[in-house]
Amino acid sequence: LSTGNPQGGWEMCKRIFASTLKRLYGRAFADRYGSPALMRRIVMEEGLPHWRSYLLMSGLSTLSSLCTASVAFLIGHVINEVYLLRSPIGVMLLSTLLVILSTTKGVAIYWQQIVASKLQFIVGSKNTLLYFNSIVREPISYFDANSSAKIISEIGNAHSVTSVLNIIVGTILTSVISVMGLGFVMIYNDFFMSILIFTICPLVLLFLRHNSKRVRDAVSVNLSIASGLLEIMQEAVRGNKVVKAF
């Protein structure tokens, strides 16, 4: 590519990159019931109509993450002002700044929870109504094949869509920005120690990933057993009420 036409080489690189992205995209969304396809559907159907609220949540998450990184950055200066410089004015100024940052973080988190609760109520109510309307149109054979406990639990899961969006916008975004900010503070304060930490952390993450997979399998088995027991108990209680009614 370097010996020929530079423009032609650049176009070829762009075509290779575009084809690679297209192939990865098609592989990720090949299964319409897979996690990437479901995530895309949730974002397109439930996230885009309320994009202003989710944009506000993203801004609040960014603000709280920046406050967290700023507090971590100022703690070292506060310790220096107290034990090394012994400056009352510096201690007062830095302490006031820490109070302002902590208060701002608390207000941002509280405001974010209010917006998330409002979205959960709006989207959850809409999904509950849609699910109830679809159940009403089902034939009698549907209710013979599915227990009432299962139907009620599925109606109660209508709010899970907003929970997924809140996790994407709120929790994941906050965690990513917080890690980036704290990593910047680490590198600024001690570069060599930060490099050592960044070298050891991937090994620890691989170990945790291996163990978390086994934990997830065990938890899924326990949850399936618990849901089955709960369904049997609900059916038994409802059957007992019917028998007593007669």
Q: What percent of the chain has pLDDT over 90?
A: 3
Report the mean per-residue pLDDT for the chain: 77
Q: Which pLDDT belongs to residue 198?
A: 79
Contact 153, 37 (CB under 8 A): no
CA-based nearest residue to 101, from 109, 184, 174, 90: 109
- The per-residue pLDDT for range 87-138, each reduced to its tens digit, is 778 778 888 888 999 999 999 989 988 988 888 888 878 888 888 888 878 8
Q: Which pLDDT belongs to residue 25?
A: 67
Q: Which pLDDT belongs to residue 186?
A: 82
Residue 246's pLDDT band (cuts 50, 70, 90): low
Q: Which pLDDT belongs to residue 149?
A: 66
Average pLDDT (162-187) is: 80
Distance of CA 154 to the CA centre of its chain: 22
Most confident of 60-69, 137-146, 153-162: 60-69
C-alpha 228/C-alpha 147 separation (Å) is 11
Which has the higher per-residue pLDDT, 54 or 84? 54
Is 7's pLDDT higher than 70? Answer: no
C-alpha 147/C-alpha 232 separation (Å) is 10
C-alpha 25/C-alpha 21 separation (Å) is 6
Whole-angstrom CA distances from 149 to 48, 114, 171, 229, 246 are: 33, 31, 31, 11, 22
Q: Report the run of H or E that residue 179 belongs to, with start and end.
A: helix 173-189
Total-model pTM:
0.65
Q: Which pLDDT belongs to residue 98?
A: 86
Q: Which pLDDT belongs to residue 39?
A: 76
Is 225's pLDDT higher than 50? Answer: yes
Contact 77, 94 (CB under 8 A): yes
CA-based nearest residue to 104, from 55, 70, 79: 70
Q: Which pLDDT belongs to residue 237?
A: 66
| Three-state secondary structure string covering 121-156 | HHHHHHHHHHHHHHHHCCCHHHHHHCCHHHHHHHHH
Q: Which pLDDT belongs to residue 2?
A: 47
Whole-angstrom CA distances from 60 to 55, 63, 74 are: 9, 5, 21
Q: Which pLDDT belongs to residue 128?
A: 81
For 50-115, give the DSSP string: GHHHHHHHHHHHHHHHHHHHHHHHHHHHHHHIIIII--HHHHHHHHHHHHHHHHHHHHHHHHHHHH
Q: Which pLDDT belongs to residue 8?
A: 61
- The per-residue pLDDT for range 144-156, each reduced to its tens digit, is 777 776 777 777 6
Contact 124, 83 (CB under 8 A): no
- The per-residue pLDDT for range 26-45, each reduced to its tens digit, is 766 666 666 777 777 777 77
